[in-house]
Structure formats: structure tokens, C-alpha cells
Amino acid sequence: MDDGQWSSKHVTNYLKANRAFLEHHVLEHVDAATLERWYMRRVWREKAIKPSTIDNPTEEMLCKKISMSKWKFCRHTDKRQMLETLMNSLATQPQPGRILWELACCVASSVGADGFILHLAHPQTGVFRVFRSCDIETDIDNGIFDPKIYPDISASYDDDRDAACSSANFYAVSNKERHNVASYVAKHRHTITVRDIRRPDSRFEDGSICLQDGGVHILGAPVVQNDGTLTGVIELYRRPVDNNKSSRGPFQQDDEEVVSSFLVWGGIALHYADMYHALANQRNLHQFLLTVVKSIFQDMVSMDAVIAKVMTFAQKLVDADRASLFLVDHKSNELYARIFDMGDGVGDGQTPAAAKEIRFPLGTGIAGQVAVTGKVLNIPDAYLDSRFNRAVDQQTGYHTTSILCMPIFIQGQVIGVMQMVNKHHGTFTAEDEESFELFAVYCGLALHHTKLYDRIRVSEQKYRVTLEVLSYHNCCTESEFNAVQQLNNSTLEAAGQSDNRYVQQNVASNTIGLDQFWFSAFSINDMEKVHNAVYMFVDLFGLGQFEQDSLIRFMLTVRKNYRRVPYHNWTHGFAVANSMYVILKRAPNTFQPLEAVALFVSALCHDLDHRGKNNKFMLDTASPLAAIYTTSTMEHHHFNQTVIILQQEGHNILGKLKSDEFKEVLRNIKHCILATDLALFFPNRAKLAQIVEEDQFTWDNKDHRLLVQAIAMTGSDLCASSKPWDVQSETVKVIFEEFYEQGDEEKKAGRVPIPMMDRTQLHLQPDSQVGFISGICIPCYSLLYRLIPETKPLLDGCQSNMERWKQLAKDNEFVDSDHAHGAGKPRVDGATEIKDSKHLHSLTRAVSLPIRSYSDLDSQQ
């Protein structure tokens, strides 16, 4: 066969059969550049990334200054320099964004591009961030690759901070409205060249961002890692040939091959960058764990401080917008948190301002579910999860998207739940879960040790309070004990002549009206109050299970433990006990015997060691008591003082009771004393009123009886509002004097007291009494009367006093109206201006009626 008759098929078959000839011919007649170009084409074909044929690849480049083959295969020194620059960048600035920027600079320089656009894809959301290059034409023309200081885009790849770049825009690859070169390359993931982007093309209806910089010849290349993850898109561009700034034409196939070779190096660099980031995250995590360990032994300030540190770091660890940490209360089966929803603003790990403690049952919501199951919950869309409580978002205006909830274990038991909300970029990943889970182990240790420290700190505060109490109070003396004994003996001797019952119970009282609701504690002195307190106790419960000497010592020491303050003193304690005594005496079978004992003791001791200041004042002044008892501060202290007195030698009036009876009485005493906190009165009353309204109340139900006991304690505590007017007005005088003393202290501390505690607002007393009686006292006595009809005199007296306070308030309004109309207006008859506390006291006595008993009141009505 002649040579001219050989077809390409014959040549191909011959070369296949004579591979030695083919190898010899190639080595002898084909240069290295061509061999490498053939090899690159084979590699790309195997990867199924086919070069685009948008433009004719065989068309000669117009006015091309240098041969790309010469650049790529002959200028090895310059090529090596660029690769060394890329590797140096990896060593000094290994952030993926920075690596891609350096890679784009190298590629642009190697193919003689006038500039480039770098599109960085976020690894989770797929959202691109766009960066423009500086003009690198000068470097290319001079044949030098000397990278300038380009924008630091590393932060933009990993965080949401703004980079100092010439332009930044966002768009999503999945957005169907986008039809530009970059989105096409990202979608199809292969390199394309566009001869002239100004020509219409259905694939690129939106053209290219490069047009904004004058680029018309485009080469777009995807940056894909080994695992198939799209990292970004590089758009290289050249300006038109007739532009004075450039004389290069469209990109050719050689350019594509150059870009492909650099992207191989770029993939390796990104792989090592990812490894660096993983190591950096581990290093940061280990550094934090070391910080946590140091905090346990060096910076143990409080549980709140450690929780704040833990939440701050956890927030940064998983890039969350909000963080919450809930602790488990195994006694009440609840989750609670004092620091909740920590967001921006507490980034230094310091304890934020104290917040109101929140509690909710285990199993409630996402955090409650994690506490029960002990399993991690990673929720990409909270609104699609039925366990999510949308009410919080509706109240706060915050929109919750993703949630990562992790249990915290110690010794195999869930002690808390950490909840991260709204990852800044995308949703929480498996990597976040792994890091968070490792952190949670050390977090549990930190919380456990801090809780132990908190217990020590609370014990120290209790010790300080005890020292304070002991420095002020002491037990009764023998002389005081003998004085009460002598008073009792003389009273008993006189009473025994007319009533043998007093001789049998070994105690007597000659105090008139002691068993009446109208009785005034102001009518007897302090020692007589002690004697009558012993009498009332024995009259109710006898001496079968109680010792009289212990009763006397107990009453005397209780008297000493009431401080000398205007209102919350021994007189008030005795008055409340007397009111409870009358209730128990008139309705003897209402409560069980041990409940009745607890009620009387609670009434007598309910304000022990009261400082004349309310709970809010204790919190505002950072009192040691407030550090021990965060709720019902003074009421807890009153109960604690009661227990301390009972523990004194010779004072345990409950010593003859059985162990279980003793514990039951103490529980009831605590319940009753805490019930005198008016903050608890409202929910107690609402609950009991609902039970009564629904006709569900029964005295056989222990919980129902506890509610009645709470209301009875409040009614006895407020008994002054039901006393005859002269007693009521005298009591209000000392109450407000105590209020004013607290107001004076607040003024000294630079705070503004509420009007009721400001002695310059004296004219508000009648109005405040009307509001107090109508809003608290009458509702209390009305409910108590429905359950214990014998308490009706309390309701009647309270209503009568309210009418008198209304009259005073009305007269005071006339005075205010007179002032408002000017000095020349006539004064309304009966209207009197209140000038000071003495004047007000005289007015209250002036409007009082000569009432001594409720029988007198009934007769006048």
C-alpha cells in the first residue's frame, strides 16, 4: 500500500502494533512541552472535565505577546517562584480564603490575565462571597511575579466579618435567577472559556461581574477538593485587544491547561489548610480546657461566673448566636437557669447582670427532652420540630433557626444541658457535635467543682450571719426566767381562788380580752406578753407533751430575738400569736393537733430577728442574708432563727414529740412562716379560691389544709387592720415609721425610695391604707371567713377601718384640690391638711369612735 493510501485508521493500528517504534519516534521528534500538554489533556479527560468549545480553540490569539507554552514549559524559574509563594502563604497564612486568593494571583499571572474575580463558597450554606483582584497587568508585562498586599479575605471565608476588599457581594449557587459565568461553572463544575461575554448566550443571560472591570474574554474554573466539595470559582478576564491597557486576546486551550495544573497544587494546598484548621481548633479547645482547669482552682468566684465562661466559649466554639445553660434540680425534677440566653455583649467571660431565675419541668421543650434522654439533639430548623416552644420567639422578636442541645454528665448523671441557638453560617455540623461533646465532659467537671465551691461559699455566708446574730442576740437569763415564774405564780394564786381549771394547768392569766379578736397588744408590757404567751400555749395544748420551764425559756428567748424596731418587734409577734390563738380557740377542731402547734409557734416566731427592712432592701444592699436566701429572704431567716432557738439547751418545747412528729411540726412551721411573705399570698389565695369556687375543698385533703394554714397566717399577720380604730391607727403610725426609716437609709445610699417609704410623702398614707386593705386584707379575710366562719369579726373590723381610711383619703383630696385652685379659694368644710406624722395621728384619733370591742361595733351598726 502506498503512503498516500494510508488512512488514520491504518496509522493507529500500526502504532498500536509497534509501540517501540512509537516510543522511539516520540522521544526523538516531540519536545517536552508537547508531551506535557498531551499528558494534561489525558488527565482532564479521565476526570471527565471536558474543555469548552465556546470559542474555536484553534484560532490564533490576536497580538499575543508571549507563548503560553514557553511560559508554562520554559520559564521554570518563574513558575517555581510562584509555587514557592503559594507554599509560603500556606505556611504563614493557612486560612482557606487566603490560599485561594494566592492561588488566583498565581493563575492570573501565569496566563497573562488582566485581573480576576474570586468567588468563595461557604462550606455549609453554599453562598458565594465575591472578591475583585487588584490590577496585575504591570507585573505580567514585566515578566515578574511579585504579589502585592491583596485584601485579607481569610476572615470572610470562615467568619462573617467584613473584609477590607474592593467589592463584596453575596449570591447562592442554587438561585435560579442567577445565570452568569460563575454560577454556570459552579453548577457544572468544569472549566469554560468565553471568547466575548458581550455576545448573547442563553447560558449567561446575566453575563459576568468581570464586565464591571472591563473584562470581555473570560476563563472560568472551579476549585474542587478531592472529596468533591466546591470551594470556589475563579473567573479570569482579559480586556479587549483595542484597549490600550492590554494587547492580549481570548483565552486558549493552553491557558486552560495552565490553570488546571495550578488547581492541582491549589487542591493540595487547601487540603493542608483544612488539616491546619482542624489542628488549630484542637489547639484552641485544649487551651480552653486548660483555662477551665485553672478557673476551677484559681478563679473560683461563683457558679454564675463559671457558667458565663462556659457559655461564652461554647458560643465561639460552634459559632452560635445565642447560648443557654440549664442545670438539673433532681429534687424538684426541674431545669433552672440564672443566666439565660447569653448573646452578644458578654464576650469576655464575665458574669452578666443577675437575672431572674427561670424553671421548667424535665421533659419540657428541647432542653428538657435532652435532660431526660441524655442524647444530643441537632435541629436544623426549629420551627419544624414540635418540641420547640415558639412563644419565646413571639415574645422577644428573635427568630430561632438551628439548635444544638448537648447534655452535660457527671458520674453518669445528667447535671445540666447546654443549648446553642442559630449558627452564624448554616446549621450545626457533625464536627460541631464532636467538639461540643468533648467540651461538655470538661464543662461537667468545671460545674461540679464550682458547685462544691458554691456550697462552701454559702456555708461561709451562713457562718457570718450566725456571728452577726450571736453578737446581737442571746438567750434569756435566769433572772428573767424567775421573774416570769413569779408573775405566773402570783397570777395563778389569784385566779385559782375563782377557777380550779387554772390550778390544774398550772398557768393563769388575768388579762381581759385575751381571747377576743379586738385585743390590743399595746395594753400589756413585754414581760406580761411573755407570761400570756405561755398561758395561750398551755391553754391550747396543755402540758401533757410539753414542759413549762422550756416554754418559759423559749418565750423569753423569742422576745429577745425580736429587735427593737418600730413595728416588726416583740409586740407585733405577740399580736399575731394572739390572733392565731383566738382562731384556734374559737375553731378548736379545724386543724389537726400538730398542725395547730405549728400554727401557733409560727405566728409567735414569724418575724424573728427582723431588721425593719423588706426583702428588696436586703437584695439591693447585698446583705449576707440575701446571699443565702435568694427568695423570701427574711422569711427563711425567721424560720432559721426559730430552729436555732429550739436547738438551745432548755428551749426545745417540742422535745417530747416523737421523731416523725417533730419533723412534721418543723415542716409545717417552715411552711407557715414562709407563707407570711406577701409575694406568696397571692398565688396561695388564687389557688385556694379556685378550689373553693369549684366546690372541691375538703378538710381531709392535706394540701387543702396547708393552703388554709397559709391564709390563716397571712390573716393573723395583718390582724392590725381589723382592730378597733384606735389600735389600727396606732399600728399604722409605727408601721410607717419603720417604712420611713428604710426610706431614709435608701436616701443615704443614693437611691430614691418608693413614695410609701418617703416621709416627705406623708399625705399618701390614707390612700396607701385604702389600697392595702381593699387589695390584700379584705380578700384574705373574705376567703378565710368562708372556710372558718368564726373569723368573721376580722372581716367586719377590716371593712370598718377601710371606711375610715377612705374618709381620711377623701378629706386629703379636698386639701389637694384646694391647693390646686390657689390660695384665694375657699376651703371645703372638714378638709384638713396633713402636715406631719403627729398631725396625722391626731386626725386618726379624732375620727375614731369609742369602740372597745366588736360587740360595740355590731351594736352601732
Instruction: Let me know if 10 is a catalytic residue.
Output: no
Residue 4 predicted with pLDDT over 80: no
The active-site residue out of 190, 568, 636, 704 is 568
| Cα 717 to chain centroid, rounded | 36
Where is pLDDT greater, at 468 or 822? 468
Share of the chain above pLDDT 90, in %: 31
At residue 60, the pLDDT reads 41
pLDDT tens digits for range 628-644:
888 899 999 999 999 99
pLDDT-based confidence at 85, cuts 50/70/90? low
Which one is predicted more confidently, 603 or 81? Answer: 603
Task: Tell me if 96 sits within 8 A of 274, measured CB to CB.
Answer: yes
Looking at residue 464, what is its pLDDT? Answer: 82
Distances (CA, A) of 692 to 595, 704, 780, 786: 21, 10, 14, 9
Residues flagged as binding site: 568-572, 606-607, 717, 769
Q: What's the pTM? A: 0.51
Q: How many CB atoms lie within 10 A of CB 303?
A: 19
Higher pLDDT pick, 529 / 170: 529
Q: DSSP assignment of 572-601, as one string?
A: HHHHHHHHHHHHHHHSTTSS-HHHHHHHHH
What local confidence, expressed as pLDDT, does residue 496 receive?
57
Q: Give pLDDT tens digits for 404-440.
A: 999 999 888 899 999 899 998 888 888 888 888 888 8
pLDDT digits (tens, 9 = 90+) for 534-553: 999 999 999 889 999 999 99
Closest CA to 38 of 268, 257, 339: 257
C-alpha separations of 698 from 307, 703, 707 in Å: 46, 10, 11
Average pLDDT (382-403) is: 83
pLDDT at site 391 = 73
Alpha helices in 298-389 (DSSP H): 303-317, 365-373
- What average pLDDT does this structure show over 759-774? 90
**Annotated binding site for AMP, which residues?**
568-572, 607, 717, 769
Domains in the chain, ordered, with CATH? 3-46 (no CATH), 68-279 (3.30.450.40), 299-468 (3.30.450.40), 718-856 (1.10.1300.10)
Strand, coil or helix: 179: coil
Q: What is the model's pLDDT at position 414?
A: 92
Residue in 379, 401, 404 with CA at minimum distance from that of residue 390 = 401
Task: Give the Cβ contact number of residue 789 at 10 Å.
Answer: 10
Rounded Cα distance, 385 and 668, in Å: 44
